[in-house]
């Protein structure tokens, strides 16, 4: 911990894109705030400092502040990322923050990813489909290979932060595109033997241009995924599978 | 004023709330879930290491069962827990894990044959049984006799929350996101729902429900240094307290987790130590075996946290420019283990510390972690004062954890409480006598009161709400922490009272439309302060040490005077202290009467009934020689009649016969050095 370098104290300039759609007089504009950088400062700490000391109306979303809940995705110097685990020392003195595109703007840096993600879950039916509705909880569980369980978990690590959508060329053009987050979910359930759906069922959900055939393979999604999910490989794999249905 | 009507209103979209909603919905009751944030962002997602359930599939779980899980939990609670509730819980936990497995949770599984693990700092080979191959495995956690913690790498809570949430979506349960319950609608006897604020538009609405259940989690954010998500401000417990009628139980029982990274306070899982990680001091020397020869790093959290602070106070800390801390060493677990089983931990170390735990030590120090206290309910999760009000999960005190919760028992409690309380809520709604007749005047009064209050905040005084929150958090961390003392607790109470008075004079500078974050802080401050006062004042009054509540001036557990639960109420809205009552725990009804926990301090002041009850139990055991463990348990403390019918049955376990005994015994321990 003593190996964390002490930097000379900098003055950081935050250029924040602001707009409050709740206020009919609000127009989108950039506002600049200056604060002193502190040791190990994250954007979570910096934004709270701005709100508490400089402008109490500034809106943003943090929940876990530990990089696991996906609430705080925003555009940081041009790239989508999780603000809570972005350290200011990795950024220049001028820091540009903007809300994620595509999602409905709530205010300033806060966007409604929750609503978008719920709609995707409903549309893609992202749950285990099993005709045997109630399992007998008294009995031993059905066995599963550890390697399979782990592979499912690898895809399930998605935190629905929205970075992949914000970085997606297709999502900017087509509002119905389910994006890497949606296609990855289908890949997850396709892998899961507890889900009885067949490829033909999945084809119904993603076998068109709002699904797997809409992807332009720009792979911005994989570049920005904070959980480093293997999105490119999953997209290619799903396209191959769906093309053969 | 918009009024939304439903059968069941669940306040809180974490695991407990969602699972209870699924139960109620499946029984045919209209159910709405309110959530401060998108439900999948709830703090349940932060549970890393796993959930306890006595499946006993893995080699190191062999011989485990509900009885042992029960005893571990009661000992962990330092005998503060309600033993009926603990029994209900341990019998349901295996069912919960199996249900989640069917819903899609990719629990880590047993792999047959030899594998290398780290136990007590040494490599040990254990052999997994053929017949267990593919079943759900478990890791070691603190304060448990067997390896019982089922896990999904170190993203267990995330995986559980996502699958339960998606199940709720499958069952068409509406989740109204970014909604905050501001007050309960009640007439002093019956709860009718809540006044709710939309955190996008700022609009106030009324939700009217036959049953209202609070599942809003804990209140860790009354402390400055906490592993909790920043939304864990205890607003559910606070609005129950503000009814003036409902009680909060054992608010002084606050858990500090041994391994929060320093100084950010972000959790790294107990699984690090469960899997073999060690605690080292400033000289990089292992110190826990000197303090706790029995369980070492894996004593209960209250004990380990105290020993760490004790060791720091004795001058053995590692020093950094942020202050004193200790080290967590997981290097011995190896890269592969860390990359697959502890990858969130690795991410956290990398992003927040710039540390690679495969080759470097992790700076840690205990931080506030869990609220054992909460809305006091009976075993059905029902408030004992307000009919129609329920609570479940960390927000509740039904009371499963007493004065200290075991690791892996909270995320387990969320789903189990959701399953059980959800059934009880459905039972409640099934009864025609629980239909409600509510006057629109009552709804309007409640709504207008909140509305006027909010408007008042926008025109008033001079105090900055953010500043008050900071002062409260500092007070709690500095004066109501791991080591408590009457003088410092009195200072804390005095300071918090002053802060509460000052909070009558808040100034909200921003007139922003919509949620207005400053206004949000302003209406939460006095509520948080009331909770903080319940904690500090309860701690001041409890002149003993029990579980996580440790008094330097009263270091012994005192069963003679304090084997009782604190109940806090706030009957007068203008008061600056809660009124406290106490509820005795009956030793003569306990299945496990108070004794030594098996770790931690050995001296305590015994309850006069304890030897009598022990003798009674011994006689019962002798008179029932040859009885199965189920029959014996039923004689000691029958609880099955309390359970919802559908969850009463026994849990199947590999190699266990109908009498609950293991039939096939492996030769040897299955462990090679």
Tens-digit pLDDT profile for residues B644-665: 999 999 999 998 998 999 876 5
User: CA-to-CA distance for B208 and A134, rounded, in angstroms?
Assistant: 31
Residue A124 lies in a domain: no
pLDDT above 80 for B186: yes
A177 shares its domain with A223: yes
A47 shares its domain with A98: yes
Given A89, A111, A133, the domain boundary residue is: A111
| CA dihedral of A119, A124, A126, A127, whole degrees rounded to 10 | 120
pLDDT at B350: 94
pLDDT above 60 for A5: no
A148 shares its domain with A228: yes
Owning domain of residue A53: 11-111
Q: Which residue of B514, B649, B653 to mutate against A (max A Cβ within 10 Å)?
A: B514
- Tokens 């006598």 locate to B433
pLDDT at B667: 46
A239 shares its domain with A165: yes
Determine the average pLDDT of the residues in B389-407: 97
Sequence-ordered alpha helix ranges (H) in B40-193: 66-76, 83-103, 156-170
A151 shares its domain with A237: yes
A31 shares its domain with A94: yes
Report how many Cβ contacts below 8 Å link chain A to chain B. 223
Number of domains in chain A: 2
Which has the closest alpha carbon to B551: B480, B494, B461?
B480
pLDDT at B669: 45
The CA distance from B56 to the nearest CA of chain A, in Å, is: 11
Do the Cβ atoms of B374 and B392 come closer than 8 Å? no
CATH number at residue A77: 3.10.20.30
pLDDT above 90 for B50: yes
Q: Which residue of A70, A134, A153 to mutate against B (max B Cβ within 10 Å)?
A: A153
Residue A133 lies in a domain: no
Task: Return the residue of B nearest to A6 by Cα.
Answer: B321
Determine the average pLDDT of the residues in B330-343: 96
pLDDT at B665: 53
Question: Could you tell me the CA-to-CA distances from B411 to A149, B19, B277, B461, B525 in Å, in that order?
Answer: 20, 12, 22, 42, 28
What does the pLDDT look like over B445-455, one tens digit per residue? 999 999 999 99
User: CA-to-CA distance for B50 and B408, rounded, in angstroms?
Assistant: 5
Given A111, A130, A163, the domain boundary residue is: A111
Set of chain B residues whose Cβ sits within 8 Å of the Cβ of A160: 38, 40
Question: How many C-beta atoms lie closer than 10 Å to residue B646's C-beta?
Answer: 12
Say if residue B399 is preceded by a cis peptide, omega within 30 of 0. Answer: yes
Do the Cβ atoms of B152 and B11 come closer than 8 Å? no
Whether residue A65 and residue B344 make contact (CB cut-off 8 A), yes or no, is: no
pLDDT above 90 for B461: no
pLDDT at B321: 86
Residue A122 lies in a domain: no
pLDDT above 90 for B241: yes
User: What is the overall mean pLDDT for chain A?
Assistant: 95
pLDDT above 70 for B365: yes
Determine the average pLDDT of the residues in A181-205: 97
| CA dihedral of A71, A76, A78, A82, whole degrees rounded to 10 | -40
Whether residue B39 and residue A141 make contact (CB cut-off 8 A), yes or no, is: no
Do the Cβ atoms of A161 and A113 come closer than 8 Å? yes
A95 shares its domain with A186: no
pLDDT above 70 for B337: yes
Question: Could you tell me the CA-to-CA distances from B182 to B16, B179, B231, B532, B656 in Å, in that order?
Answer: 20, 9, 14, 18, 50
pLDDT at A4: 57
Say if residue B263 is preceded by a cis peptide, omega within 30 of 0. Answer: yes
Long-range own/partner contacts, residues B441-449 (CB < 8 A, 24 or more apart): B442/B185, B442/B187, B442/B192, B443/B1, B443/B3, B443/B185, B443/B192, B443/B206, B443/B208, B444/B1, B446/B183, B446/B185, B446/B195, B446/B206, B447/B1, B447/B195, B447/B204, B447/B206, B449/B183
A78 shares its domain with A148: no
Do the Cβ atoms of B377 and B398 come closer than 8 Å? yes
Determine the average pLDDT of the residues in B175-202: 97
Residue A25 lies in a domain: yes
Set of chain A residues whose Cβ sits within 8 Å of the Cβ of B467: 52
Residue A152 lies in a domain: yes
Do the Cβ atoms of A14 and A50 come closer than 8 Å? yes
ipTM of this complex prediction, to 2 decimal places = 0.97
Residue B303 phi/psi, 5-degree rounding, is -70, -45
Determine the average pLDDT of the residues in B283-287: 97
Q: Which residues contact residue A154 at a Cβ distance below 8 angstroms, ignoring those fewer than 6 apart?
A: A229, A230
Q: How many residues does chain A have?
A: 245
User: CA-to-CA distance for B439 and B93, rounded, in angstroms?
Assistant: 41
CATH number at residue A182: 1.10.1060.10
Do the Cβ atoms of B288 and B277 come closer than 8 Å? no
Determine the average pLDDT of the residues in B246-273: 96
- Tokens 């408030």 locate to B383
User: CA-to-CA distance for B91 and B74, rounded, in angstroms?
Assistant: 14
User: CA-to-CA distance for B567 and B581, rounded, in angstroms?
Assistant: 5
- Tokens 């960390």 locate to B394
What is the set of active-site residues of B? 257, 273
Structure token digits, residue A166: 């914000």
A23 shares its domain with A75: yes
What does the pLDDT look like over B600-655, one tens digit per residue? 988 999 999 999 999 999 999 999 999 999 999 999 999 999 999 999 999 999 98
3-class DSSP state of B214: strand
Structure token digits, residue A123: 């549309």
| pLDDT band of B670, cuts 50, 70, 90 | very low
Q: Which residues contact residue B478 at a Cβ distance below 8 angstroms, ignoring those fewer than 6 apart?
A: none
Helix orientation angle between B83-103 and B66-76, rounded to the nearest 10 degrees: 120
User: CA-to-CA distance for B181 and B190, rounded, in angstroms?
Assistant: 17
Question: How many C-beta atoms lie closer than 10 Å to residue B205's C-beta?
Answer: 18
The CA distance from B302 to the nearest CA of chain A, in Å, is: 23
- Helices then strands, counting H and E runs in chain A, come out as 9, 7
What does the pLDDT look like over B106-119, one tens digit per residue? 999 999 999 999 99
| pLDDT band of B202, cuts 50, 70, 90 | very high
A84 shares its domain with A30: yes
Determine the average pLDDT of the residues in B343-359: 95
More confident residue, B321 or B334: B334
Residue A118 lies in a domain: no
Residue B391 pairs in a beta bridge with B214
pLDDT at A3: 55
pLDDT at A8: 65
pTM for the structure as a whole:
0.96
Output the 3-class SS for B320-358: ECCEEEEEEECHHHCHHHHHHHCHHHHHHHHHHHCCCCC
User: CA-to-CA distance for B418 and B426, rounded, in angstroms?
Assistant: 12
pLDDT above 90 for A131: no
Given A70, A89, A111, the domain boundary residue is: A111
User: CA-to-CA distance for A28 and A17, rounded, in angstroms?
Assistant: 7
User: What is the overall mean pLDDT for chain B?
Assistant: 96
Structure token digits, residue A32: 């600049």
Which has the closest alpha carbon to B620: B633, B606, B607, B639?
B633
Chain center to CA of A128: 22
pLDDT at A92: 97
Please count the CA atoms within 13 angstroms of the CA of B289 that sit on its side-chain side.
6
A238 shares its domain with A152: yes
A231 shares its domain with A150: yes
pLDDT at B673: 38
Residue A128 lies in a domain: no
What does the pLDDT look like over B518-557, one tens digit per residue? 999 999 999 999 999 999 999 999 999 999 999 999 999 9
pLDDT at B664: 60
Q: Which residues contact residue A82 at a Cβ distance below 8 angstroms, ignoring those fewer than 6 apart?
A: A67, A70, A72, A73, A161, A163, A226
3-class DSSP state of B480: coil
pLDDT above 90 for B470: yes
Q: Which residue of B66, B102, B156, B344 to mutate against A (max A Cβ within 10 Å)?
A: B102
Q: Cα B504–B506–B511 angle (5° rounding)?
A: 140
Set of chain A residues whose Cβ sits within 8 Å of the Cβ of B216: none
Which has the closest alpha carbon to A96: A104, A88, A107, A85?
A88
User: CA-to-CA distance for B595 and B557, rounded, in angstroms?
Assistant: 10
Residue A125 lies in a domain: no
């Amino acid at each position: 911990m003593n190996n964390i370098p002490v930097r000379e104290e900098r003055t950081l300039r935050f250029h924040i894109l602001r707009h409050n759609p709740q206020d009919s007089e609000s127009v989108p504009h950039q506002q600049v705030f200056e604060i002193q950088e502190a040791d190990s400062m994250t954007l979570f700490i910096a934004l709270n400092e701005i709100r508490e000391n400089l402008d109490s109306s500034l809106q943003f979303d943090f929940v876990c502040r530990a990089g696991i809940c996906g609430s705080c995705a925003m555009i940081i110097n041009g790239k989508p990322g999780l603000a809570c685990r972005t350290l200011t020392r990795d950024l220049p003195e001028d820091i540009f923050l903007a809300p994620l595109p595509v999602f409905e703007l709530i205010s300033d840096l806060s966007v409604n990813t929750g609503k978008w993600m719920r709609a995707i879950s409903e549309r893609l039916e992202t749950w285990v489909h099993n005709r045997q509705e109630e399992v007998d909880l008294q009995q031993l569980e059905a066995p599963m290979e550890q390697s399979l369980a782990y592979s499912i978990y690898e895809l399930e690590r998605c935190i629905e932060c929205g970075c992949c959508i914000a970085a997606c060329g297709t999502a900017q053009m087509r509002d119905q595109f389910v994006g890497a987050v949606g296609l990855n979910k289908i890949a997850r359930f396709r892998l899961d033997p507890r889900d009885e759906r067949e490829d033909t069922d999945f084809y119904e959900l993603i076998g068109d241009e709002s699904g797997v055939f809409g992807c332009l393979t720009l792979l911005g999604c994989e570049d920005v995924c904070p959980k480093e999910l293997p999105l490119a490989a999953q997209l290619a794999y799903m396209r191959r599978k769906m093309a053969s249905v | 004023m918009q009024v939304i009507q439903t059968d069941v209103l669940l306040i809180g979209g974490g695991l407990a709330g969602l699972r209870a909603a699924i139960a109620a919905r499946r029984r045919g009751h209209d159910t709405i879930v309110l959530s401060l944030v998108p439900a999948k962002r709830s703090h349940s997602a932060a549970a890393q290491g796993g959930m306890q359930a006595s499946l006993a599939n893995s080699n190191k779980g062999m011989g485990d069962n509900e009885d042992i899980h029960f005893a571990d939990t009661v000992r962990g609670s330092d005998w503060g827990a309600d033993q009926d509730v603990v029994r209900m819980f341990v019998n349901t936990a295996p069912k919960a894990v199996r249900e989640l497995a069917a819903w899609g949770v990719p629990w880590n599984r047993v792999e047959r044959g030899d594998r290398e693990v780290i136990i007590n700092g040494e490599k040990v080979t254990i052999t997994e049984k053929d017949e267990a191959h593919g079943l759900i495995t478990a890791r070691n956690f603190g304060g448990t006799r067997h390896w019982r913690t089922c896990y999904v790498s170190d993203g267990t809570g995330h995986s559980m929350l996502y699958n339960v949430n998606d199940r709720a979506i499958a069952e068409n349960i509406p989740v109204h996101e970014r909604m905050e319950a501001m007050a309960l609608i009640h007439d002093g006897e019956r709860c009718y729902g809540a006044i709710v604020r939309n955190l996008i538009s700022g609009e106030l609405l009324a939700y009217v429900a036959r049953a209202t259940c609070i599942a809003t989690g804990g209140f860790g954010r009354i402390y400055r240094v906490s592993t909790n998500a920043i939304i864990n401000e205890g607003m559910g417990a606070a609005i129950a307290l503000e009814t003036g009628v409902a009680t909060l139980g054992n608010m002084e029982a606050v858990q500090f987790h041994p391994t929060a990274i320093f100084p950010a306070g972000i959790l790294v899982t107990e699984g690090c130590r469960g899997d073999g990680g060690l605690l080292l001091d400033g000289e990089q020397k292992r110190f826990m075996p000197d303090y706790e020869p029995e369980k070492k790093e894996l004593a209960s959290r209250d004990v380990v946290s105290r020993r760490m602070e004790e060791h720091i106070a004795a001058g053995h800390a590692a020093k950094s420019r942020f202050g004193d801390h200790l080290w967590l060493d997981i290097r011995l677990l190896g890269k592969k283990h860390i990359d697959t089983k502890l990858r969130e931990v690795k991410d956290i170390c990398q992003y927040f510390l710039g540390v690679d735990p495969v080759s470097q030590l992790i700076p840690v120090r205990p931080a506030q972690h869990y609220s054992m206290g909460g809305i006091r309910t009976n075993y059905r999760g029902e408030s004992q004062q307000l009919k129609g009000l329920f609570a479940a999960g960390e927000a509740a005190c039904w009371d499963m954890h007493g004065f200290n919760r075991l690791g892996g028992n909270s995320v387990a409690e969320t789903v189990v409480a959701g399953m059980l309380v959800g059934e009880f809520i459905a039972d409640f709604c099934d009864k025609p006598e629980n239909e409600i007749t509510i006057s629109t005047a009552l709804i309007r009064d409640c709504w207008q009161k909140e509305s006027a209050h909010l408007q008042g905040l926008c025109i008033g005084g001079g105090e900055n709400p953010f500043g008050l929150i900071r002062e409260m958090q500092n007070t709690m961390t500095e004066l109501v922490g791991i080591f408590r003392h009457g003088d410092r607790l009195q200072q804390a109470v005095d300071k918090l009272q002053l802060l509460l008075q000052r909070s009558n004079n808040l100034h909200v500078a921003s007139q922003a439309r919509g949620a207005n974050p400053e206004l949000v802080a302003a209406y939460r401050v006095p509520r948080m302060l009331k909770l903080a006062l319940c904690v500090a004042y309860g701690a001041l009054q409890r002149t003993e040490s029990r579980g996580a509540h440790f008094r330097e001036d009263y270091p012994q557990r005192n069963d003679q005077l304090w084997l009782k639960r604190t109940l806090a109420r706030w009957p007068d809205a203008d008061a600056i202290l809660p009124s406290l009552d106490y509820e005795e725990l009956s030793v003569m009804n306990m299945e496990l009467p108070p004794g030594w926990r098996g770790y931690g301090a050995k001296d305590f002041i015994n309850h006069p009934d304890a030897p009598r009850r022990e003798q009674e139990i011994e006689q019962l055991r002798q008179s029932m020689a040859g009885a199965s463990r189920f029959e014996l348990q039923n004689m000691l403390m029958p609880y099955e009649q309390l359970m919802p019918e559908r969850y009463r049955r026994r849990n199947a376990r590999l190699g266990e016969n109908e009498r609950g005994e293991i039939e096939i015994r492996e030769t040897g321990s299955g462990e090679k050095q």
